[in-house]
Amino acid sequence: MSPAEQIEQGLASLAIELPLVVQEKLLAYLALLYKWNKTYSLTALREQDKAVSHHLLDSLALLPFISSGNLLDVGSGGGMPGIPLAIARPDLDVTLLDSNSKKAAFLQQAAIELILPNISVHCGRVEQYHPSLGFAVITSRAFSGLADFVSVSRHLLAADGRWLAMKGVWPHVEIELLPADVQLDAVHRLQVPGVEGERHLAVLRNAAVKSSGES
């Protein structure tokens, strides 16, 4: 099955509709990722036949949980999930943050070559990043623990914002280690076509902020 067929069928399985031109840009991103990967080590996944499922579809599985506003991808690395989300949602302002200068250089080049004006790149540690506005969504699939993730990025979350933490197996132990002032809204099991291992999405917020609909 060709990459184009993989993404078409995968999106159908996820019940996500994207125009053909968007699907083509997603595949162009993969080509760029593996071109740069030869010297920049952007992804450990060497089997390019799995790239559509493990990189694109895995990232795009977050789409149903993202509304409007701005998004921060912490430890973006090769640009996942931030770049696929930015391609699929041109209305979404996406900031890609990584402390590795070579990876940040790739992220910047990808935004230029793929013509993604809704992407900005910041090279530096998340603890030292202090933009003027907070983010509606902060996500990552690189952090080892939920407690560390919320601790280092809490100052970047908007008042009514949410953390979307991409995990493998259900993070029972990590949830128990969360600070008392962080509320777990839900853990969603994601069924990502072509990905055999478990995938979950933990949705968190500051406990002092009421969920929509609460009085």
176-193 pLDDT tens trace? 999 999 999 999 999 999
pTM strictly above 0.75: yes
For residue 33, what are its two tokens? 């990722």
Residue 15 has a pLDDT of: 95
pLDDT tens track for 43-78:
765 666 778 888 899 999 999 999 888 999 999 989
* pLDDT(210) > 70: no
How far is the CA of 63 from the CAs of 17, 58, 89, 186, 202, in angstroms? 11, 10, 9, 16, 14
Q: Kind and range of the H or E element at 175?
A: helix 172-176
Q: What is the mean pLDDT of residues 91-106?
A: 95
Check whether 145 has a pLDDT greater than 80.
Answer: yes
Residues 6+ apart with CB under 8 A from 37: 43, 78
The token pair at 188 is 């969603």
Select the CATH number that applies to the domain covering 3-206 from these four: 1.10.4190.10, 1.10.443.10, 1.10.3720.10, 3.40.50.150: 3.40.50.150
Tell me what pLDDT residue 208 has: 74
